Amino acid sequence: MKKQFSQKWTISKYWLRSLITILLVIGVFFRFVNIDKKLYWGDEVFSSLRISGYTQSEMRKQLSNGRLLGIEDLHKYQYPNPEKNAIATIKGVIVEDSQILPLYILITQFWVKCFGDSVAAIRSFSAFISLLAFPCLYWLCQELFESSLVGWIAIGLIAVSPIHIVYAQEARSYSLSIVAILISSVALLRAMRLKTNVGWCIYAATLSIGFYTHLFFTLVAFAQGIYVLAIERFRLSKTSIYYLLSSLVGFISFVPWIWIIITNPQPEAVTWTNIKQTVFMSFARWAGIFSRAFLDLGISPNEPGKLKFVLIPFILILLALISYSIYVVCRRTSKKVWLFVLTLIGSVGLPLLITDFVFFKRYATSRYTLPSVLGIQLAVAYLFTTKITSISIKAWQKKFWSIVAFMVIMGEVVSCLVHSQSQIWWNQLPEKYQEYPKMAHIINQGKQPLLISDEDNIIPPLQVLSNLIDPKVQFQIVGKNQLPEITNGFSDIFLFLFEPSDFLKAGIEKVYNSKLQQVSTFLWKITKAN
């Protein structure tokens, strides 16, 4: 493979390095630009709660007593607090979010203590970690393809890949998960090549890191096992034995948390998977999952409008490109290469694909299928490398594939530009949260507004809204089936209920002789009845 690329690499390394440098600069820029302008949505609010060390029950108990609160009283549960240490943080995760692995939470907690508790500071950790994917990806391509050229082109594709930009600006563990997958992959290939005890120890350590980063890393580790055993032809060779021992060490380190998940199940955390999907909706969802690696204008399959139909031809072209890329990898590379790419793509993608189409539910999401996206991007990087720089390709074919590569990169850049200017994106459930900026604008217009709600609406709805509201706004939160004591001195009084509460609405109208005027989907203005 080195001979296939070596001559052309010598000729084109100057312009290629210049192009990759430009793409890297653009990618870094889009990872940090307007990082605090996106809606700080529900999943991120839960991340902040875990970082604070408090539990939902503690927060509800301390806030829903009917007293007047300022924004700082709510934000207390969104950043580290001296009252809570790392042990309290882990206890909170165990009790209420056992399916969330603690490594990201603990590192982010330390990050926030060092760099501040603003939305930009919290999200910047994910953005910073996403930069580590570049050297890891280059190293992986060196180990896998034995080609620095494929590594540079892969870096260029991922630098401005819209799906990587989206999760680099989210206060969740997905960027860290990507890095963990890349590091463990590099460690595995290197251990198989060098066959040293140190190499296998490093691989075992990377497995432990991955296991405590994201639950679906277990599927990636399982796929790596299939890869090793297939390469060794399912024989008990020295490599197989070392792999099994390393995997056992990594798995044993994860056993305590497996026990925690079993003894503290959180079935309500995945209730969204119960949404029924037709075959067509599943196809549309999977097409969007894979095409968003290269083109993403913020349109989800469930969103009405004509723009998504305009995108269908482009999505089909991208799916054809992905399919052809996988075909070329399987046809032109050794078993060591194509099997690794296929197992990475299928590690999470195949189980979720099967469950989606067997149970007709919505198990697959873009954030879960990131390992598959990485495998696809490796295949596309190899395709562009062979078609543009190989000495055995005709001139007109090189021009054609150069244009294709340029169009793909331009689609990525345009996607990143559109994303950078938006306030809410498809991954933030716009069907659920798109009304929040409008409600915040209405509340902020009051001179001295009061916002009333109950404990069922604290997290995440009220916490999400609090990040959009001015400091002048005060809050009054009551327990379930309780009424607030509304005091005078407020210019505007609003009732916010994301979770319906007929008792609270009817009680305010009756007890305080008031009328409720609905000004938004979840917001009512309270006025005195005539």
Long-range contacts of range 195-203, CB-CB < 8 Å, 24 or more positions apart? 195/238, 195/239, 195/242, 197/242, 200/242, 200/243, 200/245, 200/246, 201/246, 203/243, 203/246, 203/250
Contact 226, 339 (CB under 8 A): no
Which tokens go with 159?
């630098």
**pTM for the structure as a whole:** 0.93
Looking at residues 461-468, what average pLDDT do you find? 94
Query: What pLDDT does 319 receive?
Result: 96
Query: What pLDDT does 10 receive?
Result: 47
Q: Which residue has the higher pLDDT, 328 or 515?
A: 328
Mean pLDDT of the chain: 90
Q: Which among 196, 138, 148, 141 is positioned nearest to 337, based on CA atoms?
A: 141
The backbone torsions φ and ψ at residue 191, rounded to the nearest 5 degrees and listed phi first, read: -65, -40
List, for residues 5-41, the tens digit of each pLDDT value.
Answer: 544 444 456 677 888 999 999 999 999 999 999 999 9
Strands 474-478 vs 514-520: parallel, antiparallel or unpaired: unpaired
What DSSP state is assigned to residue 486? P
Query: What pLDDT does 362 receive?
Result: 76
Residue 452, classed as helix, strand or coil, is strand
**The dihedral sign for the CA sequence 47, 53, 57, 60:** negative
Query: What pLDDT does 136 receive?
Result: 97
Looking at residues 62-80, what average pLDDT do you find? 91
**What are the percentages of helix, strand and coil residues in the chain, rounded to 5?**
70, 5, 25
Cα atoms found within 13 Å of the Cα of residue 275, Cβ hemisphere only: 11
Query: What pLDDT does 16 receive?
Result: 79
Q: How far are the Cα atoms of 59, 62, 80 from residue 77, in angstroms, in the given order?
A: 7, 11, 8
Looking at residues 356-376, what average pLDDT do you find? 88
Looking at residues 42-67, what average pLDDT do you find? 92
Query: Cα–Cα distance between 331 and 325 in angstroms, integer?
Result: 10
Separation of first and last alpha carbons in the chain:
84
With 90 as the cut, is the pLDDT of residue 180 above it? yes
Question: Which residues, in sequence order, are bridge partners of residue 452?
Answer: 476, 495
Query: What pLDDT does 519 receive?
Result: 93
With 90 as the cut, is the pLDDT of residue 486 above it? no
Q: What is the dihedral of CA 462, 466, 472, 478, to 10 degrees?
A: 20
Mapping DSSP onto H, E and C, the string for 515-527 reads EEEEEECCEEEEE
Distance of CA 36 to the CA centre of its chain: 16
Query: What pLDDT does 305 receive?
Result: 61
The string over 103-139, giving b where at least 16 C-beta atoms fall within 10 Å of a residue's C-beta and e elsewhere, is: bbbbebbebbeeeebebebbbbbbbebbbebbebbbb
Query: What pLDDT does 9 receive?
Result: 47
Distance of CA 483 to the CA centre of its chain: 39
Query: Cα–Cα distance between 524 and 494 in angstroms, integer?
Result: 6
With 70 as the cut, is the pLDDT of residue 208 above it? yes
Contact 147, 98 (CB under 8 A): no
Among 91-95, 136-140, 178-182, 198-202, which stretch is predicted with the lowest mean pLDDT?
A: 91-95
Contact 117, 52 (CB under 8 A): no
Query: What pLDDT does 304 receive?
Result: 61
Q: Over pLDDT 70: what percentage of the chain?
A: 94
The backbone torsions φ and ψ at residue 494, rounded to the nearest 5 degrees and listed phi first, read: -120, 150
Among 269-273, 352-356, 496-500, which stretch is predicted with the lowest mean pLDDT?
A: 269-273
Looking at residues 403-411, what average pLDDT do you find? 95
Count the neighbouring beta carbons within 10 Å of the beta carbon of residue 448: 12
Domain spans, the chain = 172-423, 432-528
Looking at residues 204-210, what average pLDDT do you find? 97
List, for residues 288-333, the tens digit of each pLDDT value.
Answer: 899 999 999 988 656 666 667 788 899 999 999 999 999 999 999 9
Query: What pLDDT does 175 receive?
Result: 97
Residue 155, classed as helix, strand or coil, is helix
Report residue 421's pLDDT band, with 50, 70 and 90 as the boundaries: very high
Looking at residues 215-238, what average pLDDT do you find? 95
Query: What pLDDT does 7 receive?
Result: 46
With 60 as the cut, is the pLDDT of residue 2 above it? no
List, for residues 431-445, the tens digit of each pLDDT value.
Answer: 889 999 999 999 999
Residue 234, classed as helix, strand or coil, is coil
With 90 as the cut, is the pLDDT of residue 156 above it? yes
Beta-strand runs (E) in 4-129: 68-69
Query: What pLDDT does 323 receive?
Result: 97
Which residues fall within 8 angstroms of residue 416, CB to CB, at 6 or more apart?
Answer: 26, 27, 30, 160, 162, 165
Q: Over pLDDT 90: what percentage of the chain?
A: 70
Query: What pLDDT does 306 receive?
Result: 63
Query: Cα–Cα distance between 432 and 496 in angstroms, integer?
Result: 14
Q: Which among 204, 185, 170 is positioned nearest to 133, based on CA atoms?
A: 185
Residue whose entry in the numeric block shows the structure tokens 């001296």:
82
Query: What pLDDT does 270 receive?
Result: 67
Q: How far are the Cα atoms of 75, 457, 478 from residue 69, in angstroms, in the given order?
A: 11, 15, 11
Q: What is the dihedral of CA 459, 465, 470, 472, to 10 degrees?
A: -50
Looking at residues 257-285, what average pLDDT do you find? 80
Peptide bond into 267 cis (omega under 30): no
Residue whose entry in the numeric block shows the structure tokens 């503690």:
58
